[in-house]
Each structure stands twice: as C-alpha cells, then as structure tokens.
A and B are shown apart, each in its own frame.
Chain A
Amino acid sequence: MSEVTTHVDHAHADAHAGHHGFAHPMPVWQLLATFFALVFLTWVTVLQSTFDTGSMEVWLSLFIATVKAALVILFFMHMIHEKPFNAIIFISSFIFVALFLGLTLMDAHNYKDQVELQPPPPTMAPTK
C-alpha cells in the first residue's frame, strides 16, 4: 500500500513541477449553489412523503438521497478536483456496500421466525 501511495504522490508532484500551489479553493457560488440545491431536494423529499406513492416510496426517497449524496461528494468533498486514485478508493466502498446489502437481502425471505416441524415424508426409502 505504501509503495502505491509513494508512487502516486511522486507522479502527482512531478506533474506539478512548475508548482503554482496545489490548493484549489472552491468558488463561493458553487458552494452556495450546492447548498441551496441540497435544501431544495430536502424539501422535495419531505413533499414526496406526503403523497401516497405506495411501494415506490422507499425507492423515490433513496433516489433523492443519492442525488443529494452525489452533490455533497462532488462539491463539498471536492471529488470533482480529486485524484482518480482517491476517487476509485472511495467509490469502491459503495460497490462493497452494494454487494453486502444485495447478497444479504437476496435470501432474506427464506428464513422463518419460528421453526416449523414437518411430519416425516410419507414415502420412505425401502429398508433392506
């Protein structure tokens, strides 16, 4: 891991050999726009909960939450200026979360609250 780190850091340092500073301050308008978009989407998610959308409801709120999460990651967390290596590391965590949740939920309904004792099958293998 440390080898990879050093390699990436050097590669990046070389790319900036001229060096005009590595800080990329976010413009204020981008920060404010992100904030107001997030507040608007919060309002949308509260509003959609007042309508009866049935089983779609949880997916709708998850979709809005994911759009908000993307805004936070891209702008507040500066992912748009982030090195691809760091981005891959962070995004990969969501792939593992998806695997974790997906595989767990796949057979969630195959378990029962109580164990049901079944009568022995009527046709037994013939005894010798």
Chain B
Amino acid sequence: MSATLDPSTHSGEHHDDHGHGHGHNPFLAHHFDDPEQQFDSGKLGMWLFLVTEVLFFSGMFCAYALYRSLHPEVFEFASQFLNEKLGAFNTGVLLFSSLSMAWGVRCAQMRQRTGLVVCLAITLGCATIFLGVKAIEYSHKWDIGLLPAGMYLPQHLHLTEHHEGLSRWLYVFSAIPAACVLGFGAWYGLALAQGKKASAEIAGPFLTTALCYFVGVGIGMFFQAQEDAELRAAAAHSQVGDHEVDHAHEVADAKAMAADQSAHGEPAPGHANAETHTMASKDFAPGEATDDEVDQKGRAGLFFSIYYCMTGVHAIHIIGGILVLGWLLVRATKNHFNEEYFGPVDYVGLYWHIVDLIWIYLFPLLYLIK
C-alpha cells in the first residue's frame, strides 16, 4: 500500500495545509472525493472484517460452550493446571497495550509524531511480553504432558516430578525472537554507527519489541517457578498430613513411580492400566465422572484441545497484529499520519482491540473455573 506512494514528496509540504481542507493529501486515493470519504470507506471495511472475526471465534466459543455443558467435570478438573497468575498478568499486559494503542490513535489524529511512535512501540512491546509468557505456559504444559485429547498424559503420577533446566520447547519458541534480537540489534548498531537517524528510529523500537519477548519469558518463569514450588509444598504437606508417614519415604516412592513411568514412556502398567480397564467397563453417565476418572482416562485432553485451539488462534492474531503494528511504526517514523489521514492507525487499533476483547472472555472462561 505505502510502497506505491513516494514518501519523499509529502512530509515537507504537508505541515502548512493544516486547516485548509483537502486536496494536498498524498495518501488520498484518486477514486475518493476527499480524505473523509476515504476514511469512512476503510472504516466500514474494517468493521465488516471485525464481524467476520467475531463470527470466526464464535465457532470456537460454541465448541467450548457445548463441551463444557456436556462435561463440566472435565473443565473443573483440567482448569486447575492453568496458571491463574500468568493469565491475570497477561490480561493486564493486553489491557495496557489496548490503552497505548488507543492513545496512539489519538496521537495520529493530533499529528504527534513522537507520541505515535512511542505508543506503537509500547503496544508492540506488550504484544511480545504476552507471547513470552504464553511460551512459558505452553512449554511447561507440553513438558508435563498437558496435551490435547489423545496425547494427554494422566497427571496423578507427575505431582512431585520436577523438571531441571529449561524446557526444550522454550528453545524452539524462542528461536525466532532470538534471531530478531540479533538482526534488529545489528541493524540498530549499524544505523547508529553510520549516523542514520531515520533508520535507527525504526530499528530501535523493533529491537525493544524483540527483547520484550524475553522479558515476558523471564516474568513467566518467575510466576511458574512460584506456582511449582507451591504445588510441591502442598503435595508434600498433604502426603504427610493424610497418611502420617515418613515424608522422605513418600517422596522417594513418588520419585520411583515417576522414574518407572519415564522408563516405560507410559503410566506404570500394573497401576493405571488396570484401573482404566475396570473403569471402562463401568457404565457412568456423562457429567458424573470423578477427577481420577477424568485424569486417568485422558478425558482432560478434551479441555486442552479447546485450550490450545482457542489460545493458539488468539496468539496467531497477536503475531498478525505485531506485523501490522510494525508496518505502522515504520510509516509513523516517516510522519505519514495526520488529522486527515489516520485511517491505518485507527483500523489496526480496532483490530488490536478485538484481539484484546477475545482475551477478556478467554481468561475467565479458561483460567478461572473452580
């Protein structure tokens, strides 16, 4: 879109037509009467796109509602494995990014170039912090077998198992952000060394954006370690309290079980399989399964199928948002936007808010089930 226009011709002559109506706007396409008509047309198109987005996500919310109404016990059981603190933190991050986006639209409308660049950079940073936290959540769950239906590993053997070091999934997720840090870092350094201010103004925010992913990873690791420690303490405490047996003995038992399981690559045969068998023969009505049944029959995988589908598609929308926000930031540094031409900022803003809106529903529906 911007590639067809010559950016060098506009910025100089543009400052003096303030308040003099239209006719000088270099971004006014020839088939529109005036900038306002162009803006309104684009806005209508954007609203129509958002309608398709709402309907698209409603398919997944429908699956959620259907399966939750049919198997409420699965949702109650599986939701406990989601880290509420990480969900709440990410909600705050997205809300703040929505604020900076809305503020950015205001800056574009008021011809505040620096303000717009800063707002877009903050929005981009929040987006990658969100993804960093999400990477921690996903990699942690994949490590301990909280996977979609069919791949889900029963959790009753895992409680005292502790994973040392970083998840290898985290390395997989972090590959592209790490490459971005290196690339943008080199670009930024080169631009500074060569004294290219315009180039550095773009590379700087991009580098910050890529670094913010790792900030998110750090915050996610902090909250997750806290949660793990609490879980282990609670598990150890309940074992001592309930059975009044030697604590060390119990932990050793659990470790042996875990080792047995990892050696076989599946739940210990004499234990879980026999139970599964007896339960399979038992005829229970839907909605009445106990936690053990939900866990050991792998029914909790149903919840994680829905969880990964909904949050995954949402994360793809965040990545898409990052790309268009990056495009906006480049144009903002070139001073393309003013009170007559702020459509692209406004449209991307609408898209960003709808992504936020979907998370507003996802957070309580997935994380806060009791």
CB distance A104 to B66 under 8 Å? yes
CB distance A75 to B40 under 8 Å? no
Please measure, in the bound complex, the distance between the C-alpha atom of A64 and the C-alpha atom of B37, giving whole angstroms: 37
CB distance B364 to A62 under 8 Å? yes
B-side interface residues, number (CB < 8 Å): 61
Q: Which of B41-49, B222-230, B318-326 contacts A (4 or more CB under 8 A)?
A: B41-49
Instruction: Report if A93-B339 is in contact (Cβ < 8 Å); known contacts: A25-B110, A105-B66, A109-B69.
Output: no
Please measure, in the bound complex, the distance between the C-alpha atom of A19 and the C-alpha atom of B361, giving whole angstroms: 40
**B198 is an interface residue with CB less than 8 A from chain A:** no
Q: Which of B94-102, B142-150, B241-249, B251-259 contacts A (4 or more CB under 8 A)?
A: B94-102
Interface of A is mostly: helix
Q: How many A-B contacts are there with CB distance less than 8 Å?
A: 161
In A23-42, the 8 Å CB interface with B consists of: 23-26, 28, 31-32, 34-35, 38-39, 42
CB distance A31 to B102 under 8 Å? yes
Interface size class of A (residues with CB under 8 A): 35 or more
* Cβ–Cβ < 8 Å partners of A28 in chain B: 103, 106
Closest to A55 in B: B72
Closest to B61 in A: A101
A28, A58, A64, A76: residue with the most chain B Cβ atoms closer than 10 Å: A76
CB distance B286 to A113 under 8 Å? yes
* Cβ–Cβ < 8 Å partners of A12 in chain B: 36, 40
Closest CB in chain A relative to B93 CB, distance in Å = 11
**B54 is an interface residue with CB less than 8 A from chain A:** yes
Closest CB in chain B relative to A73 CB, distance in Å = 7
* Cβ–Cβ < 8 Å partners of A62 in chain B: 361, 364-365
Please measure, in the bound complex, the distance between the C-alpha atom of A87 and the C-alpha atom of B194, giving whole angstroms: 50
Closest to B54 in A: A93
Closest CB in chain A relative to B297 CB, distance in Å = 12
Please measure, in the bound complex, the distance between the C-alpha atom of A109 and the C-alpha atom of B67, giving whole angstroms: 10
Instruction: Report if A101-B39 is in contact (Cβ < 8 Å); known contacts: A21-B339, A31-B99, A68-B360.
Output: no
Please measure, in the bound complex, the distance between the C-alpha atom of A10 and the C-alpha atom of B293, giving whole angstroms: 63
Closest to A67 in B: B360
CB distance B41 to A9 under 8 Å? yes
Closest CB in chain B relative to A31 CB, distance in Å = 5
Please measure, in the bound complex, the distance between the C-alpha atom of A104 and the C-alpha atom of B60, giving whole angstroms: 12
CB distance A42 to B91 under 8 Å? yes
* 3 A-B pairs with the lowest CB-CB distances in the bound complex, closest first: A61-B364, A49-B368, A23-B109
A-B contact pairs, 28 of them (CB 8 A): A19-B36, A22-B35, A26-B106, A28-B103, A31-B106, A34-B102, A35-B95, A39-B95, A42-B91, A42-B363, A49-B84, A58-B369, A62-B361, A72-B98, A72-B357, A72-B360, A73-B357, A78-B346, A86-B47, A96-B55, A97-B61, A101-B61, A101-B62, A101-B65, A104-B65, A104-B66, A108-B69, A109-B69
8 further contact pairs, Cβ within 8 A, besides A31-B99, A32-B99, A96-B58: A5-B44, A21-B340, A23-B110, A38-B95, A39-B95, A65-B364, A101-B62, A108-B70
